[in-house]
Structure 1
Amino acid sequence: MKVLFGLNEEIITILFKSKDCREEDDVPDFVVHEFQQYKKKGEEVEDECPFCGGTMLRTKKSPK
């Protein structure tokens, strides 16, 4: 969990990994749930890699 934006609330994050550059990034769970609304059942949420601009997918391991 991380504290974001100077708030005292802990934010739960989900670890994503780039398919291209293999960098990892923690994405707030509320963002992942927002993206999930627009996916069909069983479809994975994808995000854009902030490092290389490629596709990021959720990893199986826990965030740092």
Structure 2
Amino acid sequence: MNRTAVVLLATAVVVLFALLVAAGAGMLARLDGAGYPAAVVLAGAAFAGTLTLAAVLTACLVALLRG
């Protein structure tokens, strides 16, 4: 039960961090003069990239810990 809670909490933290990165990327795109559609596309790319990076790092850590 404790392990499930830790996994769910870690997942929530990663998703929250990805949302913050996406919001920052969208805001920077708007400040740079991009339109709303372009800013949303850039924010989505940043969100997807952050989640992909988190998944790759998790896979690497699991592989290292299993030896």
Name the TM-score class by shorter chain: 0.3 to 0.5
Which structure: greater helix fraction?
A: 2
Which structure: greater strand fraction?
A: 1
Q: TM-score, normalised by structure 2?
A: 0.32
Q: TM-score, normalised by structure 1?
A: 0.33
Structure showing greater Rg: 2
